[in-house]
């Protein structure tokens, strides 16, 4: 039996998936043990998420990455 041929619908725009090995160019990102995890629009939202992770898993190294200034801030 032949497999059905899948066609690409031209009406749907192609969605770009961000690459995990490249830092983002905008916004703020939570970095857990050196890996980019969650992207946020504001530093406050990223810090809130990072602190919630930190309270549940205190052994993790959690940083906040600012894409505009390309700096990392360690959450303590």
The pLDDT tens digits for 21-74 are 677 888 999 999 999 998 999 999 999 999 999 999 999 999 999 999 999 999
Dihedral of CA 40/42/48/50: which sign? positive
Q: Number of folded domains in the chain?
A: 1
- Note whether residue 12 is domain-resident: no
- Note whether residue 64 is domain-resident: yes
Residue 16 clears pLDDT 90, i.e. is over it:
no
- Note whether residue 20 is domain-resident: no
Q: What pLDDT sits at residue 3?
A: 79
Q: What pLDDT sits at residue 45?
A: 96
pTM over 0.95: no
Spatial contact of 66 and 43, defined as CB atoms under 8 Å apart: yes
Token output for 18: 């961000």
Task: Please count the other Cβ atoms lying within 10 Å of the Cβ belonging to residue 4.
Answer: 6
- Note whether residue 13 is domain-resident: no
């Amino acid at each position: 039996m032949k497999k059905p041929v899948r066609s690409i619908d031209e009406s749907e725009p192609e969605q770009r998936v961000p690459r995990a090995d490249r830092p983002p160019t905008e916004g703020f990102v939570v970095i857990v043990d050196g890996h980019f995890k969650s992207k946020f629009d504001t530093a406050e939202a990223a810090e809130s998420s990072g602190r919630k992770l930190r309270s549940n898993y205190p052994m993790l190294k959690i940083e906040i990455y600012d894409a505009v200034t390309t700096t990392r801030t360690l959450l303590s």
